[in-house]
Copies of this chain bind each other. A is one copy, B any other.
Amino acid sequence: MNNDYFGYRGVVADILRKINASVGDRIIVKKKDKVFEGLLMPREKLYGDKPIIVIKLDNGYNVGVRVDKFTEIYLKEKRRERKSFLRYKVKTQRSDLPKVVLLSTGGTIVSKVDYETGAVRPALSVEELTEFIPEISDIAVLDAREVLNVFSEDITPRDWESIAREIYKEMNEGVDGVVVAHGTDMMAYTAAAMAFAIRNKPVPIVFVGAQRSSDRPSSDSAFNLLSAFLTASRAPFAESVVVMHGETGDSYALAHRGVKVRKMHTSRRDAFQTINDKPLAVIKPYEKKIIIVNKIIEERNKDKEPVLENKFDEKVALIKAYPGFQVDIIHYFIDKKYHGIVIEGSGLGHITNRAVEAIRRAVEEEIPVVMTSQCLFGRIDMFVYSTGRRLIEAGVIPGNDMLPETAYVKLSWILGSKTRNLDEVKELMTTNIVGEMNPRLTIDLFPRWPHT
């Protein structure tokens, strides 16, 4: 590793040493008729030992450029000088702009490579955010703090309670919008939880994440964060939404209602998609445009007094129907004194008839059982087939067109914040509270699948 220079080796390391460029410095790479300008990043492991130099462009994306004998590399600006310039800019944040707070819960979106050590660490200070996304200074006056630091797959309903409390606090302090940085895995669940936990919202709650962390080439962090800040500061709605890439390019982001959104792809930038509804808005961050494309349910209005109802019941099970489903699973949850069960059933809302008696027992023991569909798209209708009618007769609460995940969050919220009386639970579960049900499922809401 004699030759190692911020992870670079061989010819690339030699050139960087020669021009005295360190990671974080602004450099220019010319290759034939192409010119790349941006910050030098540490070597990317995915390129192996290839002579590739990694630069973070001003649009926030990293590119890898292969260095050959035609490549010229120049140092434009040392890092330290630039940083002090940015500090100055931050100090003069325009006070006429909306105030937005970024609450970080963990996840990789606000991480970045530490220029000294090369390790990934949270980049949460206002200075660093502004350095990362300079356009923010024209959109909002920023504040940022960490409220939690866990992987999103480890977040529990207990965490929802504390996130809600922090958002509520910010709303009471008069912020114009809240951005919540969150790991993408379980982001939709938390966004749905906040829709219920804070009612009469004066300003929007905007969840944002990254499908690739900001230290990796082609990270989507910068574009998503900028879109989220624009939404939090300017959107005319005051709902809990997820703002993420709308398609794979940088043409637009989408604001999805938290109760109707689902992560539908393991790795794509546009993984988040609205089910059984349209997104709430199309966001074009570079044009500072927010185009509303669906009916707003909660309007932005800073005179509104937010109401905090942030208790979530952890003893709710979400179980899936499948051909080998053993009925004793339902008895297990009853025996373990669970307070509620959501079934991800089949088709119009079914589970094997063998389960009817166990479900009847649950209802008799005052445990609400809610039916949703693993089809995800479309509405439950438990009156078409006899299995559905038997389940209704046993006391199952039909979940309408709610996503199984949303029904789970809603039941946990009702049992924690509202009531455990079975009739009242049924009444609330079948009432549309924050847009979690769509009374008009039009034919165009089903996506177009590739067939040829």
Contact = CB atoms under 8 A, between A and B. Distances in A.
Interface of A: 151-157, 159-160, 184-186, 189-190, 246, 248, 254, 263-268, 270-271, 273-274, 278-279, 282, 291, 293, 312, 314-324, 326, 328-329, 332, 336, 344-354, 373-381, 385-387, 405, 408, 412, 443-452
Contacts of A374: 263
Q: How many identical subunits does the complex contain?
A: 2
A264 B322 contact: no
Given A155-B323, A352-B153, A347 B263 contact: yes
A373 B282 CA distance: 27
Contacts of A443: 248
B278 A450 contact: yes
B264 A377 contact: yes
Contact of A293 (B268, B273, B444, B451): B451
A278 B449 CA distance: 9
Contacts of A154: 352-354, 387
Candidate in A156, A185, A189, A336 with the most chain B CB atoms within 10 angstroms:
A185
Given A248-B443, A265-B446, A324 B378 contact: no
Given A151-B350, A151-B353, A154-B353, 8 more contacts: A153-B353, A154-B354, A157-B324, A265-B378, A266-B381, A278-B451, A320-B320, A320-B344
Contacts of A270: 446
Contact of A186 (B291, B346, B379): B346
A321 B152 CA distance: 12
Q: Which 4 A-B pairs have the closest CB atoms?
A: A266-B378, A447-B447, A185-B347, A185-B346
A451 B254 contact: yes
A190 B320 CA distance: 17
A267 B379 contact: yes
A215 to B, nearest CB: 12
A265 B375 contact: yes
B266 A377 contact: yes
Nearest to A274: B449
Contacts of A184: 347
Contacts of A448: 447-448
A248 B349 CA distance: 22
A324 B316 CA distance: 7
Contacts of A190: 323
26 contacts: A151-B387, A153-B345, A154-B353, A154-B387, A157-B323, A184-B347, A189-B322, A254-B451, A263-B347, A264-B377, A265-B446, A266-B375, A266-B377, A266-B378, A270-B446, A271-B377, A278-B451, A315-B324, A317-B326, A318-B320, A319-B319, A320-B344, A328-B336, A445-B450, A447-B447, A447-B448
A309 to B, nearest CB: 17
Given A328-B336, A451-B278, A266 B373 contact: yes
Nearest to A372: B266
A319 B320 contact: yes
B293 A452 contact: yes
A246 B155 CA distance: 40
A240 to B, nearest CB: 15
A138 to B, nearest CB: 26
Contact of A381 (B267, B291, B329, B452): B267
Contact of A347 (B266, B312, B445, B449): B266
A81 to B, nearest CB: 35
A109 B374 CA distance: 21
